[in-house]
Amino acid sequence: MKKILITGAAGFLGSHLCDRFIKEGYQVFGMDNFITGDFKNISHLADNPNFEFIDHDVTEFIDFKGDLDYILHFASPASPIDYLKIPIQTLKVGSLGTHNLLGLAKAKGARILIASTSEIYGDPLVHPQTEDYYGNVNTIGPRGVYDEAKRFQESITMAYHTFHGVETRIVRIFNTYGPRMRLNDGRVIPAFMGQALRGEDLTVFGDGSQTRSFCYVDDQVEGIYRLLLSDYSHPVNIGNPHEISIRDFAEEIIKLTGTTQKVIYKDLPVNDPMQRQPDITLAKKILGWEPKVDRAEGMKITFDYFKSLTEEELYKSEHKDFTGFIKE
């Protein structure tokens, strides 16, 4: 049985990856410190003999007993509000955490895939974004802690590959959504769906002309799975190229949820990228991958998930009055 360590296992993507690798017959070790994750996301695996949970902060030395074939490093705050609230931890998990996991991969002779992001392109001047674009990031802006941690993560990963011969993979993930996202993490899909469910107006930041391209989680997991098993060690974009403005997206959510609330406009956060769309030519070519789930279908499944949450979860307002991100 192949053994895989997945960090960020109690988070949105990490928990779906645990499910997928268990389904594929792997022994899965899930690691997390719950800083933005939730045990609920993996509670269904608690009695599974092929799953073991390790409560650990990956920025501390990782003492893992036994063999490992693969590592997926997904631990990191991922929503803009999260990484503004915990900026130092965000920098540490991308740098020190990645260093620890690369060291572990080297010691075990394991192949490691790290979760990078479309944020390494910053507010992109090339559109759609191809992997050979170097990006446009403000190092000292509020998003810099995340973007630069991820850029460092890519650099140290390539260095371990070229200098130590570690087998490495780098996925550049574009906005991904689906069940198990945290309702109050401030990202646009949980934000709009939560607002619709609570009977609040939908908050569009700026004039809503900025664009995003949303990928359903099952498609993302399939892309990551194929990349891990491929022999390609340079970064690969995985995302859905269907781009939409945030203003039009708010209207789609109003139709989907049937809310009678309206759209209201708020200040645009500092350095909010104005356009984002992955060029997935490379993923199509080397992985034979492209997304299968269209936005209407994926959003319906996601809304059904949010509808199933308890009143307490729906009204938990950890970020409601958090406006630090907006101010320069």
Q: Which residues form the interface with ligand NAD (CB under 6 A)?
A: 7-8, 10-14, 32-37, 57-59, 74-78, 93, 97, 115, 117, 173, 175-176
Site string for ligand UDP, 253-272 (x = CB under 6 A): ----------------x--x
- Confirm or reject binding of residue 36 to ligand UDP (CB under 6 A): no
> Cβ 181 to ligand UDP, closest distance in Å?
10
Name which of 11 and 208 has its Cβ closer to ligand NAD: 11
Contact stretch for ligand UDP (CB under 6 A) within 90-98, 201-209, 224-232, 254-262: 201-209
Helices (H) and strands (E) in the chain, counts: 11, 13
Give the C-alpha separation, 185 to 309, whole Å: 15
What are the structure tokens assigned to 267, written together?
A: 């200040």
What are the structure tokens assigned to 173, written together?
A: 């993930």
- Confirm or reject binding of residue 322 to ligand UDP (CB under 6 A): no
Coil vs helix vs strand at 126: coil
Q: What are phi and psi of 172, to 5 degrees?
A: -100, 105
Binding residues for ligand UDP restricted to 57-86, rule: CB under 6 A: 79-80
Name which of 249 and 259 has its Cβ closer to ligand NAD: 249
Coil vs helix vs strand at 47: coil
- Confirm or reject binding of residue 204 to ligand UDP (CB under 6 A): yes
- Confirm or reject binding of residue 278 to ligand UDP (CB under 6 A): no
Work out whether the CA dihedral 165, 169, 172, 173 comes out positive or negative.
negative
Report the catalytic residues.
Answer: 146
Instruction: Please state the length of the chain.
Output: 328
* Among ligand UDP, ligand NAD, none, partner that 188 touches (CB below 5 to 8 angstroms by kind): ligand UDP
Distances (CA, A) of 101 to 105, 130, 148, 189, 275: 6, 27, 18, 31, 32
The residue behind tokens 């674009």 is 133
- Is-contact 181 302, C-beta < 8 A? yes
- Confirm or reject binding of residue 275 to ligand UDP (CB under 6 A): no
> Cβ 323 to ligand NAD, closest distance in Å?
21
Which residue ranges make up the site for ligand UDP (CB under 6 A)?
79-80, 175, 186-188, 191, 203-205, 210, 212, 246, 269, 272
